[in-house]
Chains A and B, each alone.
Chain A
Amino acid sequence: DVKVTQSSRYLVKRTGEKVFLECVQDMDHENMFWYRQDPGLGLRLIYFSYDVKMKEKGDIPEGYSVSREKKERFSLILESASTNQTSMYLCASSSLGGQPQHFGDGTRLSIL
């Protein structure tokens, strides 16, 4: 079975902090994704990566950056956390385009 592991289930940070969310997949998938999920807004794509060191903006990239130095690991970075980034963050991976995306358990991030 595909395993997508997010480093933290719950995280509390302060405004202005630099925050790192980590995601690791064990299936040698080319594609990795970061979403955020908010009540009333659903899931929205922040960034995705289709190869090591390659990235593409999703629908809401502002205030975020990503890093993919190794194929199995995809990091989401909040450069200067703000309260409107309080959300559930979900990482996913998939093999070649059009294949099922598999999700981690999510990180519930609170910015105080």
Chain B
Amino acid sequence: KQEVTQIPAALSVPEGENLVLNCSFTDSAIYNLQWFRQDPGKGLTSLLLIQSSQREQTSGRLNASLDKSSGRSTLYIAASQPGDSATYLCAATGGISGGYNKLIFGAGTRLAVHP
């Protein structure tokens, strides 16, 4: 059964720092991996999706990488801003035991960027 872990659980950084959020998954037979952002009390906003055949995806200051063989993905945020403060979730499809429709979520990394 696919399991997704995110480290660290919480992170506090000064504005302007570059930072990396980590995500690991146990079943490498994923279809894709998706990164989301969640603001307090709100739904999830899709940031980036990496298909299993891809190594990375970029959107603005965000870059997500995928290494299926090691079961890892990272989300790199460049030049962090206070507006980046939120919880970041990664989610992988179910692997061999799951379908490509089902997402398994990590617990999230709570990011605080202070001025």
The distance from the CB of A34 to the nearest CB of chain B, in whole angstroms, is 12
Q: A97-B31, A100-B49 are in contact. Are A31 and B106 (CB under 8 A)?
A: no
The count of residues in chain B whose C-beta lies closer than 8 Å to any C-beta of chain A is 24
Chief secondary structure at chain B's binding surface: strand
Residues 11 to 63 of chain B near chain A (Cβ within 8 Å): 31-32, 34, 36, 41-46, 49, 51
A residues contacting the other copy or chain, number (CB 8 A)? 25
Are A43 and B105 in contact, CB atoms less than 8 angstroms apart? Answer: yes
Q: Nearest CB to that of B42 among chain A residues?
A: A105
- List A residues at the B interface (Cβ < 8 Å): 4, 31, 33, 40, 42-45, 48, 50, 58, 90, 92, 94, 97-106, 108
15 sampled A-B residue pairs with Cβ under 8 A: A42-B106, A42-B108, A50-B101, A58-B102, A90-B43, A94-B101, A97-B99, A97-B101, A99-B49, A101-B46, A103-B36, A103-B44, A103-B46, A105-B43, A106-B41
